[in-house]
Amino acid sequence: MTLTQEKTLASRVRPDFTILLQEVNGHRLVYLDNAATSQKPLQVIETLKMYYDQYNSNVHRGVHTLSARATDAYEAAREKVAKFVNAASHQEIIYTRNASEAINLVAYAWGLSTLQRGDEIILSVMEHHSNLVPWQIVAQKTGAVLKFVELTETQEFDMEQFKTLISDKTKLVSVVHVSNTLGCINPVREIAEIAHKYGAKVLVDACQSAPHMAIDVQALDCDWLVASGHKMCAPTGIGFLYGKLEVLRSMPPFLGGGEMIADVFLDHSTYADVPAKFEAGTPAIAEAIALGAAVDYLMSVGMHNIEAYEHELTGYLFEQLRQIPELTLYGPQPKADGSGRAALAAFTAGDVHPHDLSTILDQAGVAIRAGHHCTQPLHRYLKAQSTARASLYFYNTREEIDIFVGSLKEAIEFFGGIFA
């Protein structure tokens, strides 16, 4: 993507994100916390408003006009999500509150009913807590054993170590596609190919990849994939689980209640086919429909355009950050064209606490993250108590990177004067 295309993309999308037009603490807002949550375009916000204004009704349960309209929109959104990740069928898409719930669904429905003492689960040290804690609980309840892939010298997934860990005892490999701290892009297709040779299932956490690049679950050949809507321009409170149809059908229900049943008797029940089997009770109807609108929006921009533009931003971001000697940057360096890693940078600045950096930057209108980013084990592995993190999305600009870097230099200089 050329600089002309970059300007065209920026000018095309930024008017849709009116939240970015405000000032914070007397300065123009520079929002660089997109790995935590993305902003929402007007098209998504209007979709929410339209649902409540024009056809607010429960889905699947009524034959009246409003219920039919709500049901049609709700299921149309499922079709959009299926197309977005290239699922073979809309039945392979399960609505959840978020990716954490989606992983828990697999852990409880599949893990507790399948895993036995001595079975092995392979994770990595870079996993988000949401892809650690559920499997810790499952391991405690079943006697399964957790194993962890560590990092290479460039702080990426150690594929060679993974090959030594996997065996016939391995029943599951659950791994993040893109690390929310290191920014590395893990070779999940190759991981899945190796895991399946041993008969193991594969779950991919796509929270940090689905918003930024084209996802093809059939090409990845994963058994499950999870993502959160709020990171991909959709509202909070909605996410999804993709699962291969035969795998989902083999799993027992996660929650019991309305919608997920076929017939209910006083002493037993039979269950509906997927996806209904895993969607008990009244769902997040408006949020699911708005997720469909977010998918429409991203597809209209073009996932390949988003990825190419973010490569340019990433290259520029790291070019500027490398000029600050006080910084320690985590994760692999981008390639010459900015590709090879995600559009985020986690860093420390000597003795300056990341929370202090974030506070000072906020006074300049710059929003970044500070903390362990729900990756405490990874931070212990890196011997870093916490890090600061700037994360980009396709509505960010080079000018905003310049403002961030300038404010960061001023903050480091300010704290250097204090520590002197």
Query: Per residue in 20-70, pLDDT tens?
Result: 999 999 999 999 999 999 999 999 999 999 999 999 999 997 889 999 999
Is 222 one of the annotated active-site residues of the chain?
A: no
Residue 38 in domain: no
In this predicted model, what pLDDT tens digit does every residue of 318-330 receive, in sequence order?
A: 999 999 999 999 9
Residues 185 and 312 grouped into a single domain: no
Whole-number Å distance between alpha carbons of 79 and 371: 37
Residues 256 and 211 grouped into a single domain: yes
Nearest residue to 296 via CA among 91, 95, 73, 89: 73
If you average pLDDT over residues 162-167, what whole number do you get?
A: 98
Residue 39 in domain: no
In this predicted model, what pLDDT tens digit does every residue of 366-401 receive, in sequence order?
A: 999 999 999 999 999 999 999 999 999 999 999 999
Residue 396 in domain: yes
Among residues 250, 270, 300, which one ends one of the domains? 300
**Which CATH number does the domain housing residue 405 bear?**
3.90.1150.10
- Residue 373: the pLDDT is 98
- Residue 9: the pLDDT is 86
Residues 292 and 311 grouped into a single domain: no
If you average pLDDT over residues 270-297, what whole number do you get?
A: 97
Count of the separate structural domains present in the chain = 2
What domain range is 58 assigned to? Answer: 45-300
Residues 238 and 291 grouped into a single domain: yes
Among residues 281, 300, 319, which one ends one of the domains? 300
Residues 24 and 155 grouped into a single domain: no
Residues 82 and 171 grouped into a single domain: yes
pLDDT band with cut points at 50, 70 and 90 for residue 8: low
Q: How far is CA 343 from the centre of its chain?
A: 13
Question: What percent of the chain clears pLDDT 70, i.e. is strictly above it?
Answer: 97
Residue 159 has pLDDT above 60, yes or no: yes
Mean pLDDT value across the chain: 96
Indicate if the alpha-carbon torsion angle 239, 231, 287, 74 is positive or negative: negative
Residue 6 has pLDDT above 70, yes or no: no
If you average pLDDT over residues 251-266, what whole number do you get?
A: 93
Question: What percent of the chain clears pLDDT 90, i.e. is strictly above it?
Answer: 94
Within a 13 Å sphere around the CA of 125, how many CA atoms are in the beta-carbon half? Answer: 19
**Which CATH number does the domain housing residue 99 bear?**
3.40.640.10
Per the structure block, which two tokens stand in for 300? Answer: 């209209």
In this predicted model, what pLDDT tens digit does every residue of 342-365 receive, in sequence order?
A: 999 999 999 999 999 999 999 999
* Longest pairwise C-alpha distance within the chain: 75
Residue 360 in domain: yes
Residue by residue, what is the 3-state secondary structure of 271-297? ECCCCHHHCCCCCCHHHHHHHHHHHHH
Among residues 300, 335, 353, which one ends one of the domains? 300
